[in-house]
Amino acid sequence: MFGGGVSKSLNSNLVCLAIRNLPSSILEVNFYDAHNHLQDDRFGGKQNELLAACKKSGVARMVVNGVCESDWTQVLQLAQSNQQVLPSFGYHPWYLAERTPDWLKILETFLDAIPSAIGEIGLDRWKPDLSYAGQEEVFLAQLRLATERNLPVSIHCLQTWGRLNDLLREHPRPARGFVLHSFGGPPEIIPAFAKLGAYFSFPGYFLHERKLRQRETFRSVPVERLLIETDAPDQPLPLEKHLFPLATADGKTLNYPANLGAVYQGLAEFLGEPIESLAPRVEENFQRVFAGL
């Protein structure tokens, strides 16, 4: 998901990194964020400082997803200056009304500029007042581009799981697979998607008590198909689970990728396994789908 929104300045005391208070198990593994939006204006231009904090908290790499032409340059610049950032460029269904006539050619120029993924793209029948017209056309154009170049693609899907499954079955897909970002579909559809090449990404937001159904769904995800994400700055994990609270000038807490270890820890506890065994498996899955990028 991607909320956009008005930029809010961050406090000068940008990050409170209480490294010494972290569980030793979290400090001993590497974390891979399969999906976030670090380019978002809500981070107030402090991205380089945030990336340094993320490195200290064990985040080895992160996929930063663009959502429309207006933010692709920001994603590119972050990737060019930070090896932690794996860039991804795509048109999110919420922003299709903003696309220019040459949007697909422009997308290709970004893909030519740097090794990258395609995303965030997708289908959405959930957002109020969002037209569905044109969503499938734009989605399929980007899926075709990902397939031609064999690039991983990050897919947003809300209340369109059946139709997404149909489209993926009916059209070519990248050989390396695709990521179902913040997967919230029914468990019954997991085998069908996995057969098509899906990876299923778990966000920290699902650690909220009210999201038990979504957490339970991940018990059905094949171990070789599991990824973990923050979706920062959106989909925050429960406030008490924030390892590194990031305060905005108005006192609100912003989700950011340094909290990725808490997402891993929360999912590991829910699944009943040590983080020391979960993290290497997620790393292997991440490296497989994003190999070479």
In a domain, 152, yes or no: yes
Query: Long-range pairs for 264-268 at CB < 8 Å and ≥24 separation?
Result: 264/26, 264/29, 264/31, 264/228, 265/23, 265/25, 265/26, 266/204, 266/207, 266/237, 266/241, 267/202, 267/207, 267/215, 267/218, 267/228
In a domain, 236, yes or no: yes
Q: Is the dihedral of CA 15, 283, 210, 92 positive or negative?
A: positive
Q: Quick one: tokens of 254? A: 């912003």
Rounded CA separation 220/186 (Å): 10
Residue 103, domain extent: 28-289
Nearest-10 Cα torsion for 92, 94, 97, 98:
-60
In a domain, 283, yes or no: yes
Q: Which residue has the higher pLDDT, 274 or 9?
A: 274
In a domain, 173, yes or no: yes
CATH number of the domain at 46, please.
3.20.20.140
Structure confidence by residue, pLDDT tens digits, 73-87 = 999 999 999 999 999
Q: Which residue has the higher pLDDT, 62 or 11?
A: 62
In a domain, 17, yes or no: no
pLDDT of 104 over the 50 cut? yes
In a domain, 234, yes or no: yes
Q: What is the pLDDT of residue 246?
A: 84
Structure confidence by residue, pLDDT tens digits, 12-30 = 344 444 443 456 656 678 9
Q: What is the pLDDT of residue 35?
A: 98
Q: What is the pLDDT of residue 138?
A: 98
In a domain, 14, yes or no: no
The structural domain count of the chain equals 1
Average pLDDT along the chain: 92
Q: What is the pLDDT of residue 12?
A: 38
Give the model's confidence band at 242: pLDDT under 50 very low, under 70 low, under 90 confident, else very high: confident
pLDDT of 6 over the 60 cut? no
In a domain, 11, yes or no: no
Please say whether the beta carbons of 250 and 11 come within 8 A: no
pLDDT more than 70, % of the chain: 91
Q: What is the pTM of this model?
A: 0.93
